[in-house]
Amino acid sequence: MAKISTEDLLEAFKEMTLIELSEFVKQFEDVFDVKAAAPVAIAGPAGPAATEEVVEKDSFDVVLEGDGGKKIQVIKVVRELTGLGLKEAKDAVESAPKAILEGVNKEKAEAAKAKLEGEGAKVTLK
């Protein structure tokens, strides 16, 4: 059997689908009695050897990191998004970083983030 170069192997892997590559990794693990998933999990999804499927989150928390110097405008938006009273919304803004909305879908989280950032607030989705 002719020896295959590393470059030839990499080119072959580039042409494989993720499913084909995943099946190859499973067979490789069985034949050589090794486990390839542990190093991949530590390194993260850095290359084509990542065989785990990415599961898209369906629940997000909108976290207010800061008011950006426009506290009054941000309080108004927080009240609009949450239905909180003036005092509760003010307390929420002043206690940043704080989750403003929890467990909302992606569309609602993105809309809330855009609205808050439009008023100068710093927001992250978790």
Tell me the pLDDT band of 12, cut-offs 50, 70 and 90.
confident
Q: For the chain, how many residues are written?
A: 126
Of 44, 26, 43, the C-alpha closest to 35 is 26
Q: Which pLDDT does position 40 carry in this prediction? A: 47
2 three-state secondary structure: coil
Tell me: the pLDDT tens digits for 19-40?
888 888 888 888 888 876 554 4
Q: Which pLDDT does position 10 carry in this prediction? A: 85
> Which residue has better confidence, 46 or 122?
122
Q: Which pLDDT does position 45 carry in this prediction? A: 54
Query: Which residue carries 């941000």 as its tokens?
Result: 74
Q: Which pLDDT does position 1 carry in this prediction? A: 59
Q: Which two three-digit tokens encode residue 77?
A: 């938006």
CA 14/CA 7 separation, integer angstroms: 11
Tell me: the pLDDT tens digits for 24-83?
888 888 888 887 655 444 455 555 555 556 566 778 888 999 888 888 999 999 899 888
Q: Which two three-digit tokens encode residue 73?
A: 């405008």
Amino acid present at 92: A
Tell me the pLDDT band of 18, cut-offs 50, 70 and 90.
confident
Beta bridge partners, 122, equal 66
Q: Which pLDDT does position 68 carry in this prediction? A: 85
Residue 109 CA from chain centroid, whole number:
13
Tell me the pLDDT band of 3, cut-offs 50, 70 and 90.
confident
95 three-state secondary structure: coil
